[in-house]
Structure 1
Amino acid sequence: MTTRLQTLTQVVQQGLAQAPARPARAPKVAVPNVYDGAMDKAEDFIREVQLYINTHAAEFPSHEEVVYFMLSYMGGGTVQNWKNNVLEACSVAAGQTPPTFPYASWEAFKNEFQEQFGDPNPVAMAIAKMEALQQGTDTCDKFTIKFQALAPRTHYNDAALIELYKKKLNRCLLEKLYSLPNMPDTLQRNQATGDKGWYQWAMQLDRQWREFGVQKRVDGETRKATGGARGSAKTGSGQQEQGRTWNAPNYNRTGQGMGQGKDPNAMDVDQTRRHPPVKCFKCGKEGHYAAQCRSRLDIRAMTYDQMREYFEEESARKKDEEEIKKRQEEAKDFSQESE
């Protein structure tokens, strides 16, 4: 019994050793997007094709299959006529004796494609796009991705790219970066020391600032809701007691009546505290809602720096108005005392 079991074990092991190995499965890679002849998409299209054929090399035994594969993802726009001409040339070459192919290699076909649809001066185009790039309302993560895509095409060195990156950031974020105890001296993270570069620090501080802004809004809404509920509960319990309506006593200014005199405007102050004045979130001014606003100014479309400058001016204007009003009241009181 033991001998038979050992024999069966040896047979199974030999079968496993002789079994052919399963071919490795290619990673799942998206097929290229259809190319329509746009010049600014030519380089991206070539990269997508190259990525696919690199991960599916077994499907492309020769460069002819690569050319036909690339042609199959071209269509519409200005590229359709060029594609038809290439297919016609391939058909004519295949009908010769012996059959031939109009392109000696994949590189030859790719070079012809780039000459036809690629940017004739990619460096100048990248520099122009870099000059027009600004962070604006984008998150720093989104802005940095755009900057990184253009940076290698400009052929600028790291020192020039650092200065450009700082110039394109929003001013408030740049101020936070300059407040760091140790300023970064590279764009990317230093792989040797692990120190963060300008990219990493800028994205981190921008995320923290945006999280803080969200938290402030949430806290403000919570305080507003809690304060309103507390005010309503206090008013309800004070005005009704044992099913009867409670009327506030009338205090005169001379102290006569039921108690000490009270400022007749005190209730107006309490009412204002419980219900703050209406404020338009479009122009930022009080006294009307956004639906009633006739101003062309829209603070929602401003950048952070523009909003900060606008509210600083509004705050200064309100302070001036309050100061003028205070002086007018003092002058009025003085004239009444003189009489």
Structure 2
Amino acid sequence: TKVRAPNVFDGDRDNLRTFLNELFLFFEARPADYATDQSRIVTALTFMDGPKVIAWKDGYIAQARQNGWNTWNAFETVLQQTFQPIEEAATAASKLYHLDYRPAAPDTFNAEFFRLCALAGILEDSAQLSFYKECLPESMRRRVRLTYPIPTTVNEWAARVLEIEHSNYEE
């Protein structure tokens, strides 16, 4: 599988999640090349450059030279603790609470809903389902409950909303 190399991470907090996702795909596409924690960390460090990140990178390399390489999970945790957007979870939860459903764009709504849940750390299906139902207008909740079988998970609800909205445009 051909996957492009990750963009260089310059220390901008808003780009950390994308950087880590790009690294994940890069490593997954070439598992033999990145089978060890050391190879993953070294590769990640080569894709980090810029005034906001260089001091952290140099310090990390100096520590590795003295104590050896950490695990990938430990590296990723330290990277997130250092460069994660400030109050990301609280901001995402607030956006989730105010997320508006738009009938013309259910795909966009679903994608944004699940993105905000992940950022807010809302991972339990029952919690996601509660939020999802609250984001829908009462008329849509009613329409979903009138279908058979009634969906019981957040993914089933999201799929049913798409089915209902798409059938509206086919009529």
Calculate the TM-score normalised by the size of structure 2: 0.74
Match of 1:144 in 2: 110
1:135–1:168 CA contact under 8 A, matched in 2 = yes
2:106–2:161 CA contact under 8 A, matched in 1 = yes
Residue correspondences, number: 169
Task: Please state how far the C-alpha of 1:117 moved relative to its aligned partner.
Answer: 0.4
Task: Please state how far the C-alpha of 1:120 moved relative to its aligned partner.
Answer: 5.6
1:83 aligns with 2:49: no
Task: Please state how far the C-alpha of 1:61 moved relative to its aligned partner.
Answer: 6.4
Taking only aligned residues, the RMSD between alpha carbons, in angstroms, comes to 3.2
% of aligned pairs identical? 22
2:10–2:53 CA contact under 8 A, matched in 1 = no
Match of 1:70 in 2: 44
Partners of 1:163 and 1:178 in 2: CA distance? 14
1:115 aligns with 2:63: no
Q: Which amino acid aligns with 1:165?
A: Y
1:200 aligns with 2:159: yes
Task: Give CA deviations for 1:48-73 in whole Å, capped at 9, x if unaligned.
Answer: 21332233233346544433321333
- Structure with more helix by fraction: 2
Match of 1:59 in 2: 33
Corresponding residue SS for 1:58: coil
Label 1:32 to 1:89 Cα distance change in 2 as closer, same or farther (>3 A): closer
Match of 1:248 in 2: none
Label 1:138 to 1:64 Cα distance change in 2 as closer, same or farther (>3 A): farther
Match of 2:11 in 1: 37
Partners of 2:56 and 2:150 in 1: CA distance? 57
Larger CA Rg, structure 1 vs 2: 1
Task: Please state how far the C-alpha of 1:203 moved relative to its aligned partner.
Answer: 0.6
Partners of 1:70 and 1:54 in 2: CA distance? 14
Whose RCO is larger (CA < 8 A, sep 6+)? 2
Match of 1:129 in 2: 95
Label 1:86 to 1:110 Cα distance change in 2 as closer, same or farther (>3 A): same
Task: Please state how far the C-alpha of 1:198 moved relative to its aligned partner.
Answer: 0.8
Partners of 1:154 and 1:176 in 2: CA distance? 29
Q: Which amino acid aligns with 1:31?
A: A
Partners of 2:66 and 2:29 in 1: CA distance? 25
Match of 2:21 in 1: 47
Match for residue 150 of structure 2 among 183, 202, 207: 183
Task: Please state how far the C-alpha of 1:47 moved relative to its aligned partner.
Answer: 2.8
1:103–1:109 CA contact under 8 A, matched in 2 = no
Q: Which amino acid aligns with 1:209?
A: N
1:161 aligns with 2:128: yes
1:104 aligns with 2:73: no
Partners of 1:82 and 1:41 in 2: CA distance? 12
Corresponding residue SS for 1:59: coil
Match of 1:15 in 2: none
Structure 1 gaps, min length 5: 1-26, 95-99, 189-196, 213-339
